[in-house]
Structure 1
Amino acid sequence: MRIGYFLSTEEYGPAELLAHARAAEEAGFQGLWISDHFHPWNNEQGNSPHVWSMIGAIGHVCDLHVTTAVTCPTVRIHPAIIAQAAGTCAELLGGRFTLGVGTGEALNESILGGPWPTLDVRLEMLEEAVGLIRELWTGEVVSHRGRHYTVEHARIYNVPDVPPEIFVSAFGPKAAEVAGRIGDGYIGTSPDPELVGRFKEVSGGRPAQAGAKVAFAPTREEGWEHAHRLWPNAGLPGEMAQILPTVDHFEQATGLVTMDSTRESVVAGTDLDQHLDQVRTYADAGYDELYVANMGPHHQDMIEFYGEHVLPEFA
């Protein structure tokens, strides 16, 4: 299994993220994920730099492959603009770029004041958006009048000769089927073999990437405290992460997430076996790549620990 590092734009500022990218490459991580948010999940996280600015800067500090995890090309940003931005980033990175896309969250996408569509509509929008992005990446002049998007006489001039792959995020069976139809790969966050298997069945065995978090710290209890303070949203059930519209709503909802549930769900501390077991869980679910983020202030220690102890086990 390939292991990369997950840059959390919600928790860290621009300069910190660049330092993480450099350190991850030096430690031997094999790629980078980077999240795309307008808002963080809560005020404690306290950051949300613009992902497309960050990707351009990352290309100047390291040579790792970068994947957006994930961009929503349907509501907040028109797919034609995503096509241009992703084409430019892929050219800047010498082709070391994958466009990860998904149906998004109201937290980020409802900022312009429009209605938040149902999941079925969002999947329909995503499928049309991905098709439009691929068409624009041909370098031809494109006019498009679809159900959700209109483009008049648009042409993207800067895209590598081989356009980026598009990986599609999915959190349920219906979304996994859409991802299998339209994606070059799959993006998930849960070690769910049924979802990964469904995607691979529909897609003919295309690759799957996952993201996971740890709370590396001198003790497990300190790690859990950081995780509970910074990322209680990870404990929210069902579709709440997709439909809550504001940071305030997330802070209200995560007040119901207990420290006990955080302890049960988060790998914390320095126990090597627990970190290795989490990676194996994702490998056993069928993922080909795993991108690991650290929650809390001990990110440099986590990167060095993984470089020395975890990455060699899966080389």
Structure 2
Amino acid sequence: MTSFGYTLMTEQSGPLELVGYARAAEDVGFDFEVMSDHFSPWLSEQGHAPYAWTTLGAVAQATSHVGLMTYVTCPTLRYHPAVVAQKAATLQILAEGRFTLGLGSGENLNEHVVGHGWPALQDRQAMLAEAIEVIRALHTGELVDHRGEYFQVDSARIWDLPDEGVELGVAVGGERAIEAFAPFADHLIGVEPDSDLVTGWNAVDGAPRIGGTARAIGQIPICWDPDEATAVAKAHEQFRWFAGGWSVNADLPTPAGFTGATQFVRPEDVADAIPCGPDLDAVVEAVSAYWKAGFTDIALVQIGDDGQDRFLSEAAGPLLEKLRAASPTGQEGAA
């Protein structure tokens, strides 16, 4: 059965608000919750960037059964992979087995802040592969010494490990990334409803099969509001950065850069790409592109901090009913 998630957007809400939304999302019936891990918002209008890992620890204690996930953490520049391994193990203990570590090769917006520059894509992917190797080794509980091309680990051991381990999802955007990461990850993370991602993953020798033990986890922005014009205006203000696509977005370094890159994006352009307004059937139609592409898990992003409470109390329940009625059954994908 397809699973539906709620996105805790650190770019548009403060930490206390996010914990409250997490609790409400669990209560209304979302299957899992994903949290972005940013140092900066994409646009200054969003106005927030709390530390994801502290907030997730609080969310783990404020909720009881909903799945949790980073979407996604970059374990190569801003964080050393040994530190990510420790954080993930601790969070899994706090979440009592509900946490999945979502990893990706990162965005310049967040990673440049530590002063190590911004590597080319091929180098970023090689760094991510080595970081996964380090994380996997440390999650065995053994003493680890590592001398690699990008990372060094000296006599490190994770002392508090969860009994169930920590499963890894990895964000992939093309054939090269799939071939590199599918054999070493537990789950696929995709940023667009592309069936080639799923079929390509399942074709890789040694990769866990999507629809079997592996999940394909996607994400889609929506902007629900009783008034369509209000929703379009909010989506344009808060989410016009989305129009550039990930090949552009990964390289922009600052919110000012995103502002400049999106200065000619019109409200109608955003409305064409993101379902806006009160029509829940339009949201279901947009989300269906993911399950038609073979994705097992789909996280919704409700755009804007103002209106989250109303979305969760008024629209989320009926929307989940419609999504579950329309989505296919028989797929494994529960968080």
TM-score (norm: length of structure 1): 0.97
Contact 1:71 1:100 in 2 (8 A): yes
Kept after mapping to 2: 8 A contact 1:217/1:270: yes
2-structure distance, mates of 1:177, 1:299: 38
- 1:18 aligns with 19
Give the structure 2 partner of residue 198 of structure 1.
Answer: 200
How many residues in Structure 1 have an aligned counterpart in Structure 2? 315
2:133 maps to 1:131: yes
Do structure 1's residue 303 and structure 2's residue 312 form an aligned pair?
A: yes
Structure 2 residue identity aligned to 1:231: F
Equivalent runs, 1:136-151 vs 2, <5 Å: 136-151=138-153
Deviation at 1:30, TM superposition (A): 0.6
Matches within 5 A, 1:1-315: 1-63=2-64, 64-202=66-204, 203=207, 204-205=209-210, 206-237=214-245, 239-296=247-304, 297-304=306-313, 305-311=315-321, 313-314=323-324
Q: Deviations over 1:2-54 (max 9, x none)?
A: 10111100000011101110110110001100000011101110101101101
Q: Distance in 2 between matches of 1:264 and 1:115?
A: 35
Q: Confirm or deny: 8 A CA contact 1:28 1:311 kept in the other structure.
A: no
Distance 1:168 1:309 in 2: 28
Measure, in 2, the Cα distance between the counterparts of 1:262 and 1:274.
15
Distance 2:135 2:258 in 1: 32
Instruction: Report if aligned partners of 2:284, 2:322 keep a CA contact under 8 Å in 1.
Output: no
Per-residue deviation at 1:89?
0.3
Q: CA deviation at 1:303?
A: 2.3
Alpha-carbon separation, structure 2, partners of 1:44 and 1:312: 32
User: Over aligned residue pairs, what C-alpha RMSD do you find?
Assistant: 1.3
2:41 and 2:264 map into 1 onto residues whose CA distance is 19
Alpha-carbon contact 1:216-1:301 (below 8 Å) kept: no
SS at match of 2:301: strand
- Aligned sequence identity (%): 37
The worse-fitting range, judged by mean Cα deviation, of 71-80 and 202-211 is 202-211
Partner of 2:145, secondary structure, is strand
Q: CA deviation at 1:313?
A: 4.1
Q: Letter of the aligned partner of 1:59 in structure 2?
A: A
Structure 1 contact 27–308 (Cα < 8 Å) conserved: no
Q: For residues 288 and 237 of structure 1, what CA distance do their matches in structure 2 show?
A: 23
> Post-superposition shift, 1:312?
5.5
State how far apart, in whole Å, the 2-side matches of 1:190 and 1:136 are: 32
Q: Write the letter of the residue equivalent to 1:61.
A: A
The CA distance in 1 between the partners of 2:265 and 2:231, in whole Å, is 16
1:120 shift after superposition: 0.7
Secondary structure of residue in 1 paired with 2:220: strand
What TM-score do the two structures reach when normalised by structure 2? 0.91
1:91-111 deviation line (CA, Å, top 9, x unaligned): 111111000000000000011
Q: CA deviation at 1:238?
A: 5.2
Are residues 238 and 292 of structure 1, via their aligned partners in 2, closer, same or farther at CA, if it must alter by over 3 Å? Answer: closer
**SS of corresponding position for 1:275:** helix
Q: Give CA deviations for 1:179-218 in whole Å, capped at 9, x if unaligned.
A: 3122100111211111222123222332101111100111
- For 1:173 and 1:264, the matched residues in 2 are separated by 28
Q: How far apart, CA to CA, are the structure 1 residues paired with 2:175 and 2:243? A: 21
Q: For 1:2 and 1:237, how far apart are their aligned partners in 2?
A: 25
Judge conservation of contact 1:216–1:299 (CA < 8 Å) in 2.
Answer: no
Gaps of 5+ in 1: none
When residues 160 and 123 of structure 1 are mapped into structure 2, their CA distance, relative to the original with a 3 A threshold, is: same
